[in-house]
A and B are shown apart, each in its own frame.
Chain A
């Protein structure tokens, strides 16, 4: 199967700081990576779709200046939560697909706690 990693798995930060989360496809090249957010006991909500070398496409209601996404290579996408606030505390999970509309494989997620 395809392996996707995320780093860090957990992060605690102070309000006002920025946090970067990395998503890597370890054994395949991902044409597209996706970033989701999941609140406790709720479903996954797509935040943005990123393609290597191009700007991310954000879902309605997601602040692009708040959640910066960079997809610098076919195996790495990063999500930076800028000027984090307590309401940004959540579980962030990425996924990657080899080719357009193929099965998405998910990373293990990152739990962010903003104090």
Chain B
């Protein structure tokens, strides 16, 4: 069975600092995709970044980068130069190859301190 684990229910970071949000996953499949979504208090889910299991390089999107360690089955999100607007819930998700449904972790609430 597939499982996504986010062990940090809450994180605090000083404005302009970098922060790492942890995500580990469990699957026996070799082909899968990993996603990070941001959910502000308004409720919408905003797609941030994607990493394929066969991608050799870590994905980056602006201030977001994904630290993908396949052997450890971890896909941590790194946010650089944190901004106040980054305060939100962050969800890690996985999708298996051949399927289109997402499995979500329990989320991490990030608070950026001015």
Interface residues of A (CB under 8 A from B): 1, 32, 34, 42-46, 49, 91, 93, 95, 97, 100-101, 103-109, 111
Contact = CB atoms under 8 A, between A and B. Distances in A.
Given A101-B99, A108-B42, A44 B47 contact: no
A1 B47 CA distance: 10
Chain A interface, DSSP helix/strand/loop, else mixed: strand
Contact of B107 (A43, A103, A107): A43
A100 B98 CA distance: 9
A106 B101 contact: no
Range of interface residues on B (Cβ < 8 Å): 20 to 34
Contact of A42 (B44, B46, B47, B106): B106
Which are the 9 A-B pairs with shortest beta-carbon distances?
A106-B45, A109-B43, A108-B44, A43-B104, A101-B100, A44-B104, A43-B106, A46-B101, A100-B100
A101 B101 CA distance: 8
Of A103, A104, A109, the most chain B CB neighbours within 10 A belong to A104
